[in-house]
């Protein structure tokens, strides 16, 4: 997903038996030049990350630090900004003999709410400061907002899909992704026309508005009026901007499990 526009650039659907890293490896060829891929820590893999940066021109990656790694500090660029060297595991080199024995990553450490965070990246220190790297990683959260839009605005928070057969599940998922991208594309073009950022358009209102207008256009307008109506539609979407607010910090917590028995939160402790 493009974190600036929330448009889905590529997708893959598979049975649960196939892991996320093999699925992500299939996307590498479609990553554009002059780009940065933001990943969460579950995708930490020397094979995957080196493949991203080495296959094409000026492609980089950014990922949170994986705890427990053994490394050697080679250079210190500044406060909280280091160049590290790590050993590629024998298991990874067995799967891909082309991998080097050692690889280098840049580690940027910064503080958030009194806690130190560290991210690894291939972005060169000569071109990108530590502050730019740390700020960029926080844009990864935008992809979660895109997934939320699909689940809440398009699926109305349904717990399951409607389809019951495997082929129909695939069809329904691809249909959702295509419909989502159509709305995002129209919203992005409307935002650019109004000199605003694409992710500032309310997806929920844009989705409802476009669905209603397409139904009207299909039944009441001749094909010759389609372009004019699309221009009017984009003009209306341009009024659906939302105010961007800083995301509140909500530490992860284990929620109480659902039970059919009543729970009295004010009950006295057992003695």
Segments making up each domain of the chain, as ranges: 20-142, 160-237
Pair 52, 59: CB distance under 8 Å: yes
Please tell me whether the overall predicted TM-score, pTM, comes out greater than 0.75 for this model.
Answer: yes
**Mean pLDDT in residue range 35-45:** 92
Tokens of 246: 């800083």
Three-class DSSP category at 11: coil
Q: Which pLDDT score is estimated for 178? A: 95
Q: What's the Rg (C-alpha) of the chain?
A: 23
Q: Which pLDDT score is estimated for 196? A: 84
pLDDT tens-digit series, residues 145-204: 899 999 998 998 888 899 999 999 999 999 999 999 998 988 888 888 888 888 888 888
Continuous H helices in 18-162 = 20-25, 46-54, 90-95, 130-137, 142-148
**CA 8 to the chain's CA centroid:** 9
Pair 84, 107: CB distance under 8 Å: yes
Per-residue pLDDT band at 128 (split at 50, 70, 90): very high
Pair 203, 186: CB distance under 8 Å: no
């Amino acid at each position: 997903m493009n974190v600036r526009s929330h448009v889905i650039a590529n997708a893959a659907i598979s049975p649960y038996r196939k892991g996320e890293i093999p699925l992500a490896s299939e996307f590498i060829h479609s990553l554009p030049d002059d780009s940065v891929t933001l990943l969460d820590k579950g995708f930490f893999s020397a094979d995957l990350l080196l493949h991203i940066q080495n296959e094409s021109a000026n492609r980089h990656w950014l990922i949170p630090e994986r705890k427990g790694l053994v490394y050697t500090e080679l250079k210190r660029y500044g406060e909280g900004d280091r160049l590290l060297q790590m050993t590629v595991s024998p298991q990874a080199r067995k799967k891909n003999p082309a991998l080097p024995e050692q690889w280098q990553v840049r580690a940027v450490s910064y503080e958030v709410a009194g806690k130190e965070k560290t991210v690894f990246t291939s972005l060169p220190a000569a071109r990108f400061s530590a502050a730019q790297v740390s700020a960029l990683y926080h844009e990864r959260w935008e992809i979660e907002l895109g997934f939320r839009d699909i689940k809440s605005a398009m699926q109305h928070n349904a717990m399951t899909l409607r389809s019951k057969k495997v082929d129909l599940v695939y069809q329904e998922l691809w249909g959702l992704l295509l419909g989502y991208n159509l709305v995002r594309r129209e919203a992005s073009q409307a935002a650019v026309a109004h000199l605003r950022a694409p992710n500032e358009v309310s997806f929920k209102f844009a989705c409802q508005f476009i669905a209603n207008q397409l139904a009207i256009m299909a039944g009441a307008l001749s094909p010759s009026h389609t372009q004019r109506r699309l221009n009017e539609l984009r003009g209306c979407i341009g009024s659906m901007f939302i105010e961007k607010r800083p995301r509140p910090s909500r530490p992860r917590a284990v929620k109480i499990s659902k039970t059919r028995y009543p729970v009295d939160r004010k009950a006295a402790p057992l003695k």
